[in-house]
Chains A and B, each alone.
Chain A
Amino acid sequence: MRFRLPRKGLPQIAAFVVVLLINFAVSPQFFDIRLQDGRLFGSFIDVFNRGAPVALLSLGMVLVVATRGIDLSVGAVMAIAGAIAATLADTHALPVVLLAALGAGLLCGLWNGILVAVLGIQPIIATLILMVAGRGIAQLITEGRIVTFTSPELARFGGGAILGLPVPVVLTASVLAVAVIAIRGTALGLLIEATGANARASALAGIETRTTTIAVYVWSGFCAALAGIVAAADILGADANNAGLWLELDAILAVVIAGSSLLGGRFSLALAVLGALTIQAMNTGILLAGFRPEFNLVVKAVVVLLVLLAQSPRLSGVAVLLARRPA
């Protein structure tokens, strides 16, 4: 029986392809790819490479939004994780650096989760606390300076390559794959969706809604820390003021483009990543076209509007009517 019109994912894929084609029209070299020092380069590859941090954030955000929450702190958590990684990079072994940075992300997530699920604070307020305080914490870690490092091991997370693919791309793809297996391969996905769509009914059906909610914030903190490590590794340093600044908004946007409702419920991990890539492709296209970056915001807004219109059930109702008219 056909009930979901339009088919799931179609508008998102179409939007991504359209943006890519526009980029190609603007810059005929867009799809050119070259291999240099064992790593692929080119604008098209760049979309994936530059898009990795937001893609990672949106993998966390999509689950938070599915539980009817929101995580405004992810940009700040990126800054904290980046600051920790950059500060420790030249003095500690890589595993220690990673554990410390990721551990900080998990802790941040746990804090958010407890505020939301245990204390019952509205997610937008609860995570606003860390959004504001987090940057301060990051500055304390970097002592207000821009910390740079030289560790080639950590630098690989930004500029390295595996089988020609940039490490951030491989990392994002792996996290996506692991998340899909862990969430859709188990019943987690269903339990998260149920919790978000109707928490009271879910609790009465025996779902541990509180634990589920805490877990998604912890996961979001973890993803944000990963994104922070990638961003720091990319610039070989940490700037507590600017790392991940406003990226929480891009992540939310990516999740919305992916078709999630901010009222919780259904979600798609893959489409969230696709949403992040679409945003990055727009950024790249605007740069290639030589527009001033200010345009970026306007264009982004227009594209988001179009994707949302394409998903609107009302509009698809109108489309069905129009399609039926000749009959």
Chain B
Amino acid sequence: MSPSPSPTAATAATPLLAVRGLSKSFAGFPALDGVDVTLRHGEIHALLGENGAGKSTFIKAITGVVTRDAGTVTLDGAPVAPRSADEALKAGIATVYQEVNLLPNLTVAQNLFLGRQPTRFGLVREVEMRRRSIALLRDFDLDIDVGAPLGDYSVAVQHLVAIARAVDMSARILILDEPTASLDAHEVEILFRVMRNLAGKGLGILFVTHFLDQVYAITDRITVLRNGRLVGERETAALPRMELIRMMLGRELSEAASEHPAKAATEAAPDAGGAIRFEGFGKAGYVAPFDLALASGQVVGLAGLLGSGRTETARLLFGVESADHGRLTIDGEAVRLASPRDAIRHGFGYCPEERKTEGIVAELTVRENIVLALQARRGALHPLSRREQDAIAQRFITMLDIRPPDPERPIGLLSGGNQQKALLARWLATEPRLLILDEPTRGIDVGAHAEIIRLIRQLCTEGLALVVISSELEEIVSYADRVIVMRDRRQTAVLEGEAVNVTAILQAIAADTPPLAA
């Protein structure tokens, strides 16, 4: 590592956190191999790498969630060896893990103060706890009922609550493992403000993300891992993006794939009829009635702020929630949509936002997870033979580059991004005619990201209709023919053709137009 000027020169001598030679194997497979990371006082430091590079494992190993095989961790020069997240906290290291582990049945306030409730005479001071919770969340522009169960709120809100909790408890170091994966631009800005504020107070922040824009927006330094090994540490300002990508992937990413290329002009003009038509579809108190027509090959993006009703719309389209208004016709025939099974029968697929609780079945293998929806549609009495299952799993492992390419590994042991790829595979395996994707590239690395977008686009040219929700507007723009903007659980604007660009979407989101659909 080349010595370079640090933000506060006085403390450059003893780094806040120095990790040396950290190694960790899982059943003989090295996930980390002699990794060194140095975090200085007042620094925001990006930890980058492909899916499965070992970022989350690194974080778990230094906070004692997994035991490390070798290596030392020193905090301000003093060796520390926490044996659990709790001990790490006591040492001053607060962490938001990639899979947020809060308790959905407890209230927001209880989650924020779990294990450190303000008490008097041994009794929890509810009022005090609520007051402090509200104050804490105000820093994040979050105005929610802190007395409601956390599980009532969206993933993004839950994530923000986890972050707020960690920020409040971080004494010396804050570690964030893909905190922004489910956040919109606005929340990301708020988070960055909080992070800068903490760094200004001398805390060190370790930040894992796959959004390179964010890396350049906020970090001072970058450490890159590849296949569990350290590739190098650089100053952010001195590292061009292409060079960073090369460090992460170990190869060049083709020019075309690294950008979000403008979508190819849709040759097949969407036929006016629309094969799948939702008319006046809605549910009282959930999503206001809307119309949505999808011809084969068409892509509709849903944009809007946190809580605007995008995920709710997706759940309505897939029959997770039953609509109490409107109707659905497919190829002109009226169709009942009372459950996900109905939706699947008509060739719909839905990749939910919540990977851990609604997506993966952690203890089943990658193969079983991939064939699950297809098998469920065929019914128990028409089992896919083991050979067919192997073939399907192998095909998608190769197509989506799922790593490690071992179909028999329990999916819960895969890295977050690789789990996401397997979930996509689950739906692609059903050869759907309509795919509803809620944050499809959440947690997926730069290399795979471009691949997946390319794949989805190709499927669209082959006739797949797509509804996609993404907090990355560039991603929506790169494949949507039409963008529906939502606010307060209703559609407020529909952008088509030339109007599908980031600026227009942002304007539509911000605009105070009266609702379109009624």
Contact = CB atoms under 8 A, between A and B. Distances in A.
Contacts of B380: 186-188, 191
Contacts of A1: 406, 408-409
A185 interface: yes
A193 B409 contact: no
B297 interface: no
A190 B372 contact: yes
A94 interface: no
Nearest to A195: B361
A197 interface: yes
Contacts of B143: none
A207 B377 CA distance: 8
Interface string A262-279: 000110000000000000
B92 interface: no
Contacts, number: 85
Contacts of B4: none
Nearest to A191: B380
Interface residues of A, number: 26
Interface string A174-197: 000000000001111011011001
Nearest to B406: A1
Contact of A206 (B352, B376, B381, B410): B376
Interface in B346-389: 350, 352, 357-364, 368, 372-373, 375-384
Contacts of A5: 27
Given A3-B27, A186-B380, A201-B359, A207 B372 contact: yes
A194 B368 contact: yes
Report which residue of B341, B359, B376, B382 has the largest number of chain A beta carbons within 10 angstroms of its beta carbon: B376
Given A193-B364, A206-B341, A200 B357 contact: yes
Contacts of B344: 206
A205 B373 contact: yes
Contact of A187 (B320, B350, B357, B375): B375
B407 to A, nearest CB: 10
Contact of A198 (B340, B357, B408): B357
A202 interface: yes
A3 B361 CA distance: 18
A266 B383 CA distance: 18
Nearest to A210: B339
A197 B362 contact: yes
A201 B28 contact: no
29 contacts: A1-B406, A1-B408, A2-B27, A3-B408, A186-B381, A186-B383, A187-B378, A187-B381, A187-B382, A187-B383, A190-B375, A191-B376, A191-B380, A194-B368, A197-B361, A197-B362, A200-B357, A201-B357, A201-B359, A201-B360, A202-B372, A202-B376, A204-B320, A204-B358, A205-B340, A206-B340, A206-B341, A206-B376, A206-B377
Considering the complex of A and B, which 3 residue pairs feature the smallest CB-CB distances, nearest first?
A206-B376, A187-B383, A206-B344
Interface of A: 1-3, 5, 185-188, 190-191, 193-194, 197-198, 200-208, 265-266, 320
Given A190-B372, A200-B357, A202-B376, 7 more contacts: A5-B27, A191-B380, A193-B364, A197-B361, A201-B361, A205-B340, A320-B27
